């Protein structure tokens, strides 16, 4: 029973050829070395080292205000770090990091004047793809994401879970090797959040990317990630690193009640408490 | 139905009271005036009907001044707002000037504009545009700056260039603000056109009002005021309709 809920790593990798929108992305890892960052006198990150391996999910949990979101913005090339080095696919330049990372913010931030389809196709349009071609490409994924029939719906007509799926689709259609997810499901209710986690696990099984998942939900991090890093309170540093026992198992309910999962969650919680001090 | 009932009742009551007070001569007696100087609503209505072609002719002149002046103010206001939005330096340097432009007493500079641009439509356009420019610029700039910074970051990671962020994100965000500014602008644009005509013109409702004032044609004077208000309300309504059609996401 316990074994059944686990998907071997190899199987995940080989089952992964599901036709990503912009062609299979190049395997690209993310490496953070000696990162230090401050807002004025406030040091938010002090000497952080991280590594996200290609086509794996790295979960990052930490107490609120520990600089998790800043870390994601730094990785995604939206900001330059005070010192230290961040490499996305081996490239350290901010513009290159921006080109290699797609960023999914906490709130879905769908543009309310565009139908779901055009929201999902935004990255293609920004790259100069024509409206019809961009819509065709993004529209091809709607069925798989459980959004068939809602292509032309305004964001206001969609439920919270659907909006989040469109937002994730928008991130995926950008066709970038690295996805930076900033508490992607924090705004959803508990039931929808659990559904969306299972859904994301499936989506990543068919279309694997290097994912950096920032969350304050330990269970979410452990379920979705291959490895979870626990950060301390500001200035952020790594207090613990765990490997997740049931990464993205198809049966989420079974996975999160697995004794190994529960043990890992307790270790992570203990580290979180220790780091919060 | 209910939404219209109360204002309609109030308006009918006010007009009725005015009718009674004017036709019995109560207002004129109280102000110690000749009765013909205080026209009743019925007299204004009949003057409106009798002078319909004269009023229409002059209303057309004023309407053209308002529409073209508004269009100039809108174009200048949008261009200015975008420029101020894109350049921090320009915003710091020019924003006080934009505000200062609004403190220019129109009545005082209108005659000067007539000297500069002549008796034609030119000075009226300049005045109407000057009045419209301010609310459109200020509102549009506020709208452009109200964009969620998170949304801008999201667009950047989706490979948007600066101009794509402007057109795909900032401009649609600013649109409802621009409409608010434009609605304020058309309502005051009509006053601007009248000031322009007072400073020097040979036609238009403002010109007709001046003549009627001099000739004590009070009923027709009020009829002109009525037509002027109708123009402002009509243009406001058209803008509100356009806003409802275009800004469907609010």
State the ipTM, two decimals: 0.80
- Altogether, the residues listed in chain B come to a count of 250
**Helical axes B218-246 vs B205-214, angle rounded to 10°:** 160
Per-residue pLDDT at A185 = 86
Residues 1-60 on A with a CB inside 8 Å of B are none
Per-residue pLDDT at A27 = 53
CB of B148 within 8 Å of a chain A CB? The answer is yes
pLDDT tops 60 at residue A251: yes
Single pTM value for the model: 0.82
pLDDT tops 60 at residue B177: yes
H-only helix segments in A112-189 = 116-120, 122-126, 131-139, 160-173
Asked whether B165 and B42 are in contact (CB, 8 A), the reply is no
Between the alpha carbon of residue B105 and those of residues B108, B111, B132, B198, B209, the distances in Å are 5, 11, 14, 14, 21
For residue B43, the cross-strand partners are: none
Contacts A105 to B, Cβ<8 Å = 150, 153-154
**Helical axes B106-117 vs B122-145, angle rounded to 10°:** 130
Q: Could you give the CA distance from residue A24 to residue A11 in angstroms, rounded to a whole number? A: 17
A274: cis peptide before it, omega within 30°?
A: no
* pLDDT digit string, tens, across residues A107-133: 889 999 999 999 999 999 999 999 999
Shortest Cα–Cα distance, B184 to chain A (Å): 24
In the three-class reduction of DSSP (H, G, I as helix; E, B as strand; rest coil), residue A233 is classed as: coil
Q: Could you give the CA distance from residue A149 to residue B128 in angstroms, rounded to a whole number? A: 49
Distance from the first to the final alpha carbon of chain B: 24
Confidence of residue B35 (pLDDT cuts 50, 70, 90): confident
């Amino acid at each position: 029973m316990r074994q059944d809920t686990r998907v071997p790593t190899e199987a995940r990798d080989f089952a992964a050829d599901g036709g990503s929108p912009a062609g299979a992305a190049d395997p690209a890892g993310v490496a953070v070395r000696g990162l230090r960052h401050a807002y004025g006198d406030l040091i938010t990150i002090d000497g952080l080292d991280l590594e996200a391996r290609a086509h794996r999910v790295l979960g990052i949990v930490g107490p609120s205000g520990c600089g998790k979101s800043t870390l994601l913005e730094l990785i995604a090339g939206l900001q330059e770090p005070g010192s230290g080095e961040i490499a996305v696919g081996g490239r350290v330049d901010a513009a290159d990091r921006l080109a290699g990372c797609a960023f999914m913010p906490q709130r879905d931030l769908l543009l309310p004047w565009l139908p779901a389809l055009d929201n999902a196709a935004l990255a293609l349009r920004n790259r100069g793809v024509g409206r019809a071609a961009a819509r065709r490409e993004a529209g091809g994924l709607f069925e798989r994401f459980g959004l068939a029939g809602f292509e032309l719906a305004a964001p206001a007509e969609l439920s919270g879970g659907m909006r989040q799926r469109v937002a994730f689709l928008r991130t995926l259609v950008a066709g970038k090797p690295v996805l930076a997810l900033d508490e992607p499901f924090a705004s959803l209710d508990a039931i929808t959040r659990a559904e969306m986690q299972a859904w994301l696990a499936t989506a990543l099984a068919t279309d694997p990317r290097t994912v950096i998942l920032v969350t304050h939900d330990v269970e979410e991090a452990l379920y979705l990630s291959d490895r979870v890093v626990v950060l301390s309170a500001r200035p952020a540093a790594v207090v613990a690193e765990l490997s997740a026992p049931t990464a993205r198992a198809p049966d989420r309910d079974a996975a999160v009640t697995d004794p190994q999962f529960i043990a890992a969650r307790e270790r992570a919680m203990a580290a979180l408490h220790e780091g919060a001090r | 139905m209910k939404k219209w009932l109360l204002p309609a009742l109030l308006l009918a009551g006010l007009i009725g009271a005015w009718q009674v007070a004017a036709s019995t001569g109560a207002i004129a007696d109280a102000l110690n005036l000749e009765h013909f100087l205080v026209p009743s609503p019925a007299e204004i209505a009949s003057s409106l009907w009798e002078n319909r072609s004269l009023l229409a002719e002059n209303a057309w002149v004023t309407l053209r001044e308002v529409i073209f002046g508004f269009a100039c103010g809108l174009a200048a206001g949008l261009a200015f707002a975008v420029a101020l939005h894109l350049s921090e330096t320009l915003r710091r340097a020019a924003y006080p000037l934009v505000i200062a432009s609004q403190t220019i007493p129109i009545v005082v500079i209108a005659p000067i504009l007539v000297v500069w641009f002549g008796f034609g439509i030119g000075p009226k356009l300049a005045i109407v545009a000057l009045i419209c420019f301010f609310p459109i610029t200020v509102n549009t700039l506020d709208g452009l700056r109200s964009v969620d910074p998170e949304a801008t970051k999201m667009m950047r990671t989706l490979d948007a260039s600066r101009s794509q962020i402007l057109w795909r994100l900032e401009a649609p965000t600013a649109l409802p603000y621009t409409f608010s500014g434009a609605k304020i602008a058309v309502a005051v644009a009509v006053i601007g056109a009248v000031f322009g005509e007072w400073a020097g013109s040979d036609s238009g409702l403002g010109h007709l009002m001046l003549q009627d004032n001099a000739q004590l044609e009070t009923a027709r004077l009020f009829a002109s005021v009525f037509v002027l208000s109708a123009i402002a309300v009509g243009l406001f309504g058209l803008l509100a309709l356009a806003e409802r059609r275009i800004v469907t996401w609010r």
